Amino acid sequence: TMLSRRAAVAREPGQSQPTIYKDIRDLTRARRKLVRDQTAASNRVHAHVDRLFPGFLDSKKSGITAFGPASLHLMKEKFSAPQIARRKPSSLTNTLHSLRVHHPDEVAAQLIRLAQSALPPDPSRINAQQRTLSACVNLYETYERTSLEMRNEAAALLASTPYAFLTSLPGISFVLAAGIAGELG
């Protein structure tokens, strides 16, 4: 901690509990709430995707990892079974390649076949459902990014406490060790 210049004052004068443990506790509690909200957002995304393109979030059917960079990118704009089915395989392959999908040409062909065989959504409701899905995906990504930032900040604080040694035990990550440190002080 001293070498990487992350040392922090462990206890302010006159305080019963060190400030760093209060900060860790606040961060881990806030992160826990964000993760709960992220799960709720992913459930809403599932509901909208099932209406627009059934089977898309099943990686065995679509070939794309659910809530990975490729699936999140595809769900943001013009996402429905008929619209994916109409895409040019080369264009979809290029998109998947840029998002680092393994074997993008095979995955693109698999996606187009799945889209062609999927039950199409109600055409009169596609636009509203697409906008709602896009908003839910943006919300999910915000929760994901923010919870990761809070996790990293709690881990950095944890590194300057004796509780950092908990992470050397098998099965104990920074999240659990920070939670224990924050609650026990």
**Terminal Cα-to-Cα distance of the chain (whole angstroms):** 19
What is the per-residue pLDDT across 68-114, written as a single tens digit (0 to 9) for each? 999 999 999 989 999 999 999 999 999 999 999 999 999 999 999 99
pTM for this prediction: 0.83
Average pLDDT over all residues of the chain:
91
pLDDT of 20 strictly over 60 = yes
CB 81 within 8 A of CB 52: yes
Q: Which helix (H) or strand (E) holds 59?
A: helix 59-62
Q: Letter for the amino acid at 146? A: T
Q: Letter for the amino acid at 18? A: P
In the DSSP assignment, the letter for residue 118 is S
Q: How far apart are CA 170 and CA 175, in angstroms?
A: 13
